[in-house]
Amino acid sequence: MYFVALLLPGEINEEVLKWKLFMKEHFNCLVALRSPAHITLVPPFWMRDILQNTLEMAIGRFSQHQVPFEVHLRNFAAFKPRVIYVDVLSNLQLQTLYAELFEYLSGQDVFPIKKDDRPFHPHVTIATRDLHKKAFYEAWETFKNKNYEGLCTITGVSLLKHNKKNWDVVFTSQFQTS
């Protein structure tokens, strides 16, 4: 199983990790701890391992035509009653990257990537499907009025692979810098 994402830099990852650990300690939430802080572009999909190198090359080719851009994170939001996340302020560069990457990868007719029926809603998950509905509202009280501001520059696209326990970053492309 694989997914494609934008990884957030170390300082934001560390901040997000603190909130994920809080959720583990208080609500026994572990799922979000299995991956680094990220914005999902292509949700998890099953793919034969033999195609991994081909997908890495495709992501690399795509990235050669992208330029770094800023992403703003602000406060917290939720997909009630199971997911709490750091909200990402969507912008034209992020929306365009999402649409163009999906079109590019799905147009290859090699990868088993399917269009997500849900609209693209960029976010950074801190608790997800193992946050029980009964505990959600208690956890949400902690985050709903909490202020947070983050700003980072996105410089590449990453491929993550599930190792039966966690998600490993197996490839990261870099956007053009000049």
- What CATH number is given to the structural domain containing 43? 3.90.1140.10
Residue 26 is part of which domain span? 2-172
- Residue 158 falls inside a structural domain: yes
- Residue 129 falls inside a structural domain: yes
CA distances to 63, 116, 124, 150, 151 from 70, rounded to whole Å, are: 16, 24, 15, 10, 7
What is the number of structural domains in the chain?
A: 1
pLDDT recorded at residue 14: 96
Q: Three-state DSSP class for 26?
A: helix
- Residue 178 falls inside a structural domain: no
* 69-89 confidence digits (pLDDT tens): 999 999 999 999 999 999 999
- Residue 134 falls inside a structural domain: yes
- Residue 62 falls inside a structural domain: yes
Q: What is the mean pLDDT of the chain?
A: 94
Mean pLDDT, range 7-11, rounded to an integer: 94
* 11-33 confidence digits (pLDDT tens): 999 999 999 999 999 999 999 99
Cβ neighbors of 127 (< 8 A, separation 6 or more) are 20, 23, 27, 29, 31, 32, 83, 84, 85, 139
Mean pLDDT, range 169-178, rounded to an integer: 89
* Residue 152 confidence (pLDDT) above 90: yes
- Residue 177 falls inside a structural domain: no
- pLDDT category at 178 given cuts 50, 70, 90 is low
Instruction: Tell me the pTM.
Output: 0.94
- Residue 146 falls inside a structural domain: yes
